[in-house]
Amino acid sequence: MPTRATLATLSVGALASVAAVGGLTSAAHAATTRNVSPSGHDAGTCTSSPCKTITYALSQANASDTIKAAPGSYHETVDIEKAVNLIGSGAGKTVINGSGLDPSANNVYGVVYVGNAGGAVTVQGFTIANPAPYDYTGGEPEVVALHDGNASDTVTITGNLVAEGKADTNASTEFPIGIDTFQNNATTHITRNVVAGVFQGVLAEDNGPLTVSQNWFTHLISGTQSGTTYPAEGVFVLSDAAGAVTQQNVTQNTFKNYGGYGVTWNAGYDTGNCTDTPCDGSISGSIIGNQFALSQSPSPAAAIRLAAFNNGNAITATVQNNSGYVTHPDVAISEDAENGGALHITASGNNITVQ
């Protein structure tokens, strides 16, 4: 499968209502609140009157500030490299639209990008949609990209609708990604989002501590490359670098209305094409309380797939109380250890049927 990977029938409004089911958490106390509105003007400090773009407000912000975005559409890409809270007015009301915009010239990617922030970052209450096929990622559109190299930082993505959208007519061959954490060392919380219309819902590649919890992954799409069709993937945790990826926790998510994988963990690649040599990455954590309702996929898949491919590759996981169904020929839980790879799985209380 590729190393990375349209809203189908649901409208943005309908999906956004799902994103709001759990409610949005309160923003952390901030030194200054700066306001943004589509009717504003990019001048001043965005305090006494709103600015027009999130990007300008970020240029005025200091660490611990909160940027509040009024309802409306913001046609821009957002590069966050400060410890700020970016708060929308709700996923059904506030849209960050990256259609046709490629920030690769600045070595960033994604409609929303979080780099080395130097503290805590929150992105909450938006529809984030229409990523461009970025030069920087080899053409793969990414809606949210997390690449914070500071292990002391915290990144929280919560209460958003993260969607491929309809701007890119080549989504089925470009393997769009909803939330990509690429060598992101920050402690990351991805909670209470709806992720829709992409090939991979969350790709966590060589990540720091990660919690993916209480999200909905729906209407994901398969991807086609060189005549081969690959099933969609809800959450794909990958370790392809030397060392161990720990504290990877995928809990209480819902995977439905698509054909493909729910949760996939790969320690190494079956091709041996890893970031580091020797390719001895390992993964540890938990997969608990997830619900699956997966239709027939273009090729056999699984609700949960755990794979360790080479000497030094290992997965240590607690897999408990996952439920729901997959459609034949998919399987409930697939365990694959090859060429000296090792699986250490503690499983109990799972009830995933094959229909």
pLDDT at 134: 86
pLDDT at 270: 62
Tokens of 317: 């996981």
pLDDT at 281: 79
pLDDT at 21: 45
pLDDT at 340: 85
Letter string b/e over residues 168-181, b meaning 16 or more CB atoms within 10 A of that residue's CB: beebbebbbbbbbb
Which amino acid is present at 177?
I
Q: How far apart are CA 314 and CA 337, in angstroms?
A: 9
For residues 307 and 265, is the Cβ–Cβ distance under 8 A?
Answer: yes
Tokens of 234: 């809800």
pLDDT at 244: 87
pLDDT at 275: 61
Which amino acid is present at 234?
G
According to the 3-state scheme, what is the secondary structure of the chain?
CCCCCCCCCCCHHHHHHHHCCCCCCCCCCCCCEEEECCCCCCCCCCCCCCECCHHHHHHHCCCCCEEEECCEEEECCEEECCCCEEECCCCCCEEEECCCCCHHHHCCCCCEEECCCCCEEEEECCEEECCCCCHHHCCCCEEEEECCCCCCCEEEEECCEEECCCCCCCHHHHCCEEEEEECCCCEEEEECCEEECCCEEEEEECCCCEEEECCEEECCCCEEECCEEECEEEEEEEECCCCEEEEEEEECCEEEEEEEEEEEEEECCCCCCCCCCCCCCEEEEEEECCEEEEECCCCCCEEEEEEECCCCCEEEEEEECCEEEECCCCEEEEEEECCCCEEEEEEECCEEEEC
Domains within the chain, CATH numbers bracketed:
12-354 (2.160.20)
For residues 230 and 223, is the Cβ–Cβ distance under 8 A?
Answer: yes
Would the CA dihedral through 313, 246, 236, 241 be positive or negative? negative
Q: How far apart are CA 258 and CA 277, in angstroms?
A: 35
pLDDT at 276: 59
pLDDT at 339: 84
The length of the chain, given as a count of residues: 355
What is the residue-level pLDDT of the chain in tens, covering all 355 positions?
444 433 333 445 555 555 554 444 444 444 899 999 999 999 999 999 999 999 999 999 999 999 999 999 999 999 999 999 999 999 999 999 999 999 988 889 999 999 999 999 999 999 999 999 988 888 899 999 999 999 999 999 999 999 999 999 999 999 999 999 988 999 999 999 999 999 999 999 999 999 999 999 999 999 999 999 999 999 999 998 777 899 999 999 999 999 999 999 999 876 555 665 666 679 999 999 999 999 999 999 999 999 998 888 899 999 999 999 999 999 999 999 988 889 999 999 999 999 9
For residues 309 and 298, is the Cβ–Cβ distance under 8 A?
Answer: no
Is pTM beyond 0.85? Reply is yes
